[in-house]
A and B are shown apart, each in its own frame.
Chain A
């Protein structure tokens, strides 16, 4: 069948230009933007909530509405990521790395400006690339079998080495923790329950959003509570000039932006490589290839630009395997596929031939929605950037409540919150002892994919999978990358050697050593348990726990071997891909006590929700927190009432979120 690509492109644009279509898309964009600001409510939950509203629409109107909302979700979820260090959805995790430190420096406006500009350009450029490559896309999608996907995931996993920064042993141990967390749950090959400890909740593994919020949001909230001051208390007020500066930053980096978005769009086309993975790869690659002075992980605007130019572009790419092959790359995309089916848009090769205009219309929708969404979000940048100057006694409980709600939407079980707190404690300790958290999260995402494709491909091809041409190329790139990292590391050590006169042994049982030891002990116990599982269930866990055990011991011993610097030598600073909080004059004991106080106050929300339900527990928690932290009653009461009223209308009436049952259901009792 001969296909008129240009004709289809044109007629798709004409269809989308109808006022009715544009109106639905615009509504979708606005709602999608507002939803994504609340962690846990954007992404999958957002699409699920919006779906029933499409019942009265025609199929194309529904498509414009839903795609409009979805296209901008990875623009708007940047707002909490930058302002509070809380990823709105897992795809904005990477933005936290540099965006939040910028906000802490009083550069929230600049970070938001850069993020929105690169989101728009990334989304639009990525979609335009798709428009051009659609005619040749089918062979790429059909050629990506389990062997190629495995090689690609291995390349991604190798990026852990880049994200480990100067602390290779800590970075690898952190990746080991991520892999262990990822393997909790039932194994597909043997149905073995791995590290579930008899808990049914752990059967399906840990929810990505709970891990993301726990590992990044809770530690940042705890640090804010410990410091007892605003996010950017020491800085002058951020102005709209900051957003303009962010725009200029992006334009200065226009080449990396277009390169990243084109690559992300192309990678998104590969079935089953989701948008949660791709921005990490792009970020790692950018941090490695950027020349000159760089400060990635500590507030480098190029880190924000890399992450944001990537995550919007993946939406377009991952749309293609969804509509052409019926294989969605992410959970929200899976729901979108369900919505399309309901509206009569069936996936299949016809979407690249007979129904090509529909496919092009989807891509055009993404292009236009990105532009509208970017302008809308840009307008929000100035007012929102002022939030970083709000006192922590007011801001922390409000964000903590939102994080709590977001985590509870993962599976609507109380265990979501327990897990959030447990992972939050691990994340906070990692931050305190300078273990990079990014390798943990990247390994958490990639390890299950590596295991899945490894066993499928070994089952089918045996070791012959390594001789496939594309696999060989990808493995060669992975090998070269690893060699490059090793050479760079050796070179740094060699240079460092000049300023060191010798080494001395300093046996200290500080928090750093205790944490390394704890990780080693947990790894050893996990390894011991994994050795009892069938081979197919234990191969990867044994490898991960062994890696974690060895590297955590190296980190432990390495912490005791201290270099003695020559008197006149400068101490070279190691690159660390993570946030570091300066607690000023607070002693370690004070930090620990304040951290515990935050945990206990957060526990009030958990216990009260469990007893009487979230909507009644919220005002109690907010009021208790604000009063304990020294806010005056006349200030606390209006803030609590205002927030509660908004939360009640939003969660109970507009979004109609579901919660786990409390012990005493006051709403039911009142009815």
Chain B
């Protein structure tokens, strides 16, 4: 390599190396004095709010002092109203970031006419936790394993919210792929009331969020009142050593394996932060960096542990890949989601 060329390359590398912090500074300057709005896409007070509030609390340390973060609810349509808003209407300057429902991608299969976004075009900031669901059933109904649920002669009542939405998807994929004999009882206004109905003995089974089960309802498992049958998710659940992953019980040539995987991918998306398409790349990088520092903050980790709030961070890049993979499914899988919801 000739000397002038070497010098030119060296100058380019030096410029590139010094440009990176400059970009970060530029992004940081942008947020100085601004208000970041965290859009929650489900009802107030749920798990989503819990994670958003925890993140907001500690994120503040890694943002300029004069930057405010406020929580904003844009709920409805199974989370689609919030996601549509982020995609279509929210300012594309990095002051709006949102937490979509885990079914961000599969909603397009289930209710295509209501979705006005392309999931792959969102820019991922990072994931706070995945949201697999744990299948639980009452001991006094004699259901302790998935095999018991397959062998059950009488249908096992199973509480869900609206037909075709997340809780129904978990239950139906178990029925379709594994042959369990769950019968849905729809109409519960949330995961809490659905679990309460089982606790009261009115319903035989349901699915639970691992965080809630492990932190608040584990005494029912310890006392033998309810059994953990297993769970459905892409990753193992830390702290849960009972039951198997439904995905491991289904043969890959099972016609419903793709559906189970798609449901598990939704679970893997979990509670993540995304930004609208069109936000300048340096601000996305900056926000990713801020989130990563936040989840690695010792005080954040200590508080999450103290409050029994599991964190399973994944980077924005990983999330981008997951969303792209989740959107790339067969027509049969898309049809399954559509049929269930319509």
Contacts and interface: CB of A to CB of B under 8 A. Distances in A.
B75 interface: yes
A325 B196 contact: yes
B258 interface: no
Contact of B80 (A142, A200, A459): A200
Contact of B76 (A335, A343, A411, A452): A411
A401 interface: no
B70 A656 contact: yes
Contact of A52 (B69, B157, B308): B69
Given A48-B44, A272-B193, A348 B219 contact: yes
Contact of A411 (B70, B74, B307, B341): B74
Contacts of A187: 162
Contact of A186 (B69, B157, B162, B215): B162
Contact of A55 (B49, B57, B81, B308): B57
A145 B202 contact: yes
A452 B44 contact: no
B114 A203 contact: yes
A540 to B, nearest CB: 12
A452 B80 contact: no
A346 B308 contact: yes
Interface in A624-671: 656, 658, 660-661, 668
B58 to A, nearest CB: 9
B163 to A, nearest CB: 5
Interface in A257-276: 271-272
Given A146-B202, A327-B196, A658 B72 contact: yes
B197 interface: yes
A51 B53 CA distance: 8
Contacts of A599: none
A157 interface: no
Given A188-B162, A327-B196, A338-B53, A52 B70 contact: yes
A334 B42 CA distance: 12
Nearest to B204: A460
Contacts of A347: 216
A326 interface: yes
B66 interface: no
Contact of A339 (B53, B89, B157): B53
Contacts of B163: 188-191
A4 interface: no
A331 B37 CA distance: 21
Nearest to A454: B187
Interface string A26-65: 0000000000000000001001110110010000000000
Contacts of A326: 192, 196, 212, 216
Nearest to B211: A341
A335 B200 contact: no
Interface of B is mostly: mixed
A149 to B, nearest CB: 10
Interface in B204-218: 212, 215-217
A139 to B, nearest CB: 11
A203 B165 CA distance: 14
A337 interface: yes
A412 B71 CA distance: 14
A608 interface: no
Given A334-B46, A346-B216, A204 B89 contact: no
Interface in A135-165: 142-143, 145-146
A344 interface: yes
Contacts of B342: 191
B4 interface: no
Contacts of A661: 89
B192 A142 contact: no
A191 B338 CA distance: 11
Interface string B294-330: 0000000000001111000000000000000000000
A383 interface: no
Contacts of B243: none
Interface in A319-353: 325-328, 331-339, 341-344, 346-349
Contact of A460 (B54, B157, B216): B157
A285 interface: no
Interface in B182-201: 185-189, 192-193, 196-197, 199-200
Contacts of B56: 52, 55
Nearest to B185: A459
Contacts of A143: 200
B120 interface: no
Given A55-B57, A145-B197, A347-B216, A656 B185 contact: no
B187 A188 contact: yes
A422 B136 CA distance: 46
Interface in A417-462: 452-453, 455-456, 459-460
A532 to B, nearest CB: 15
B45 interface: yes
A338 B187 contact: no
Contact of B53 (A200, A331, A342): A342
A334 B44 contact: yes
Contacts of B43: 331, 334
B54 A455 contact: no
Nearest to B163: A191
A658 to B, nearest CB: 5
Contact of B196 (A191, A203, A271): A271
Nearest to A656: B70
B189 to A, nearest CB: 7
Nearest to A342: B53
Contacts of A146: 197, 202
Contacts of B76: 203-204, 411
A10 B150 CA distance: 53
Contacts of B45: 328, 331, 333-339
Contacts of B187: 188-189, 452-453, 455-456, 459
A180 to B, nearest CB: 19
Contact of B49 (A142, A191, A335): A335
B16 interface: no
Nearest to B164: A191
B203 interface: yes
Interface string B103-138: 000000000001000000000000000000000000
B188 A456 contact: yes
Contacts of B35: 656
A182 B186 CA distance: 18
B219 A349 contact: yes
Given A146-B197, A200-B114, 8 more contacts: A142-B199, A326-B196, A327-B192, A327-B196, A328-B192, A338-B50, A342-B57, A658-B72
Interface of B: 35, 37, 43-46, 49-50, 53-54, 56-57, 60, 68-77, 80-81, 84, 89, 91, 114, 157, 161-165, 185-189, 192-193, 196-197, 199-200, 202-203, 212, 215-217, 219, 306-309, 341-342
Lowest 4 A-B CB distances belong to which pairs? Answer: A334-B45, A338-B45, A204-B76, A335-B45
18 contacts: A51-B71, A52-B70, A142-B199, A186-B162, A191-B162, A200-B77, A271-B196, A328-B45, A332-B44, A333-B45, A334-B44, A334-B45, A336-B45, A338-B53, A341-B307, A348-B219, A456-B186, A456-B187
